[in-house]
């Protein structure tokens, strides 16, 4: 476990990093911003790119393109462009630490590099994006392999929303020759559950599709619950699509194991230093586009599932207790805490 002194050092690093990389700056100069970054941020904001992992991949690729197309004349101008791009991408969805960790990793390599040459920095960004993407892919495969072992023949699996990490794990179990069924929720208001349902049907998995509010009627019949994650806090609480925490409580009531399937890099280091994970509030029109005037419609994108409802976090390091997230991240990705 990190000592008190280590934690204060980590908090200092994280706060320096956040100010160094300008997470909250909104003074970007659109003239220097590549169209790709703006277009990607807009696609993310509109949910045309959906799910934490896909969001991080799209953001990384946009930064890679920005580096390829840069007209920066010197290192300072190049770093400034990266910083502006980050601010724009970070603002596209608030609750996405995987994207933030990924972009910070890439920027820091450029920031800490001794080279002053723009061409060399450009190559550095391209190769680090490539490395990060490879690592992300390897983590997902490992997570899928580990998690697929929890799926047994004849099981009825429950899932909520669409997580590419969860569906990859289910695909692996299917490829291993296991026969099982899946219940998935439609996931109001944006219906990401339909993506899951389509993927399950394409895999040849027998699938039942329900409205979110029917979850309790079916929870007694299921054997296991798997959900993805957008963010994991230092206490091991998990932020995922709104409704996830209700499913966790229902699973608890019905005594069904509830697992979160997620890359470790969804851990948000700022939570270790006391920050709350922000929960993105989306446009109320997604819930009811023609709502009566003076009606207050709320549309939180995510909710928080306390660690006590989570049987295990299935990640690239194995099936771990969610409360051990800080130690595990520190072992596997020390740069997240020590940048």
Active site residue 230: yes
| 116 vs 94: CA distance, rounded Å | 32
CA–CA distance from 42 to each of 35, 45, 174, 208 (Å)? 10, 5, 35, 33
122 vs 162 by CB, closer to ligand RUB: 162
Stretch that binds ligand RUB, among 160-168, 175-183, 207-215, 313-321 (CB under 6 A): 160-168
Stretch that binds ligand RUB, among 122-130, 159-167, 211-219, 325-333 (CB under 6 A): 159-167
Of 161, 184, 212, 315, the catalytic one is 161
256 vs 282 by CB, closer to ligand RUB: 282
219 vs 265 by CB, closer to ligand RUB: 265
85 vs 99 by CB, closer to ligand RUB: 99
| 103 vs 58: CA distance, rounded Å | 11
Q: By rule CB under 6 A, what string of x and - marks binding of each residue 180-199 to ligand RUB?
A: ------------x-------
**Which letter does DSSP use for residue 5 in this model?**
H
**Which letter does DSSP use for residue 325 in this model?**
H
Stretch that binds ligand RUB, among 59-67, 108-116, 161-169, 200-208 (CB under 6 A): 161-169
Peptide bond before 104: cis, by omega within 30 degrees of 0? no
22 vs 97 by CB, closer to ligand RUB: 97
84 vs 199 by CB, closer to ligand RUB: 199
Give yes or no for residue 277 binding ligand RUB (CB under 6 A): no
Q: In this chain, which of 144, 301, 325, 336 binds ligand RUB, going by CB under 6 A?
A: 301
| Least distance (Å) between residue 245 CB and ligand RUB | 12
Active site residue 76: no
Closest-CA residue to 172 (of 192, 149, 156) = 149
Which neighbouring-strand residues pair with 238?
232, 305
Helices (H), 189-293: 193-203, 215-219, 244-253, 269-272
Q: In this chain, which of 161, 170, 173, 326 binds ligand RUB, going by CB under 6 A?
A: 161
Stretch that binds ligand RUB, among 19-27, 78-86, 162-170, 212-220 (CB under 6 A): 162-170
Q: By rule CB under 6 A, what string of x and - marks binding of each residue 59-98 to ligand RUB?
A: ----------------------------------------
| 128 vs 126: CA distance, rounded Å | 6
CA–CA distance from 250 to each of 154, 241, 245 (Å)? 22, 16, 9
**Which letter does DSSP use for residue 122 in this model?**
H
Of 184, 212, 230, 315, the catalytic one is 230
Closest-CA residue to 158 (of 205, 208, 216, 226) = 226
Closest-CA residue to 64 (of 137, 118, 120, 125) = 125
Q: By rule CB under 6 A, what string of x and - marks binding of each residue 222-251 to ligand RUB?
A: ------xxx---------xx----------
The kind and range of the H/E element at 261 are strand 258-261
Residues in region 47-66 near ligand RUB by CB under 6 A? 50-54
Residues in region 13-52 near ligand RUB by CB under 6 A? 50-52
Q: In this chain, which of 36, 70, 165, 307 binds ligand RUB, going by CB under 6 A?
A: 165
| Least distance (Å) between residue 236 CB and ligand RUB | 17
CA–CA distance from 150 to each of 170, 172, 180, 215, 250 (Å)? 10, 11, 12, 22, 20
CA–CA distance from 201 to each of 140, 144, 187, 283 (Å)? 21, 19, 17, 31
| Least distance (Å) between residue 255 CB and ligand RUB | 23
Contact footprint for ligand RUB (CB under 6 A): 50-54, 161, 163-165, 192, 228-230, 240-241, 301
Give catalytic residue positions: 161, 230
């Amino acid at each position: 476990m990190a000592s008190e002194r280590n934690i204060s050092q980590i908090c200092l690093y994280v706060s320096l990093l956040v100010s160094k990389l300008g997470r909250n700056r909104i003074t970007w100069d659109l003239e220097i911003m590549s169209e790709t970054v703006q277009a990607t941020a807009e696609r993310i904001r509109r949910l045309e790119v959906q799910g934490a992992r896909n969001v991080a991949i799209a953001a990384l690729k946009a930064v890679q393109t920005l580096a390829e197309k840069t007209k920066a004349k010197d290192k300072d101008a190049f770093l400034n462009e990266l910083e502006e791009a980050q601010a724009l991408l970070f603002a596209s969805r608030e609750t996405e630490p995987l994207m933030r960790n990924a972009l910070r990793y890439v920027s820091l390599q450029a920031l800490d590099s001794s080279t002053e040459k723009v061409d060399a920095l450009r190559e550095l960004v391209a190769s680090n994006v490539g490395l990060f993407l490879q690592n992300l892919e390897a983590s997902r495969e490992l997570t899928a392999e580990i998690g697929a072992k929890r799926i047994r023949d004849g099981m009825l699996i429950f899932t909520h929303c669409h997580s590419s990490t969860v569906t990859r794990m289910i695909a692996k179990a299917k490829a291993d020759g296991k026969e099982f069924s899946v219940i998935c929720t439609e996931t109001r208001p944006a219906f990401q559950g339909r993506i899951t349902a389509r993927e399950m049907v394409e895999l040849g998995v027998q699938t039942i599709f329900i409205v979110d509010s029917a979850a309790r009627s079916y929870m007694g019949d299921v054997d296991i619950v798997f959900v993805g994650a957008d963010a994991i806090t230092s206490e091991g609480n998990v932020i995922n699509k709104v409704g996830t925490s209700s499913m966790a409580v229902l699973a608890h009531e019905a005594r069904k194991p509830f697992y979160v399937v997620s890359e470790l890099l969804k851990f948000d280091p700022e939570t270790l230093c006391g920050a709350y994970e922000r929960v993105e509030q989306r446009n109320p029109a997604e819930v009811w586009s023609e709502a009566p005037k003076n009606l207050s419609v709320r549309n939180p994108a995510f909710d928080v599932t306390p660690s006590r409802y989570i049987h295990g976090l299935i990640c690239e390091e194995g099936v771990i207790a969610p409360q051990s997230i800080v130690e595990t991240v520190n072992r596997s990705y020390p740069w997240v805490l020590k940048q």
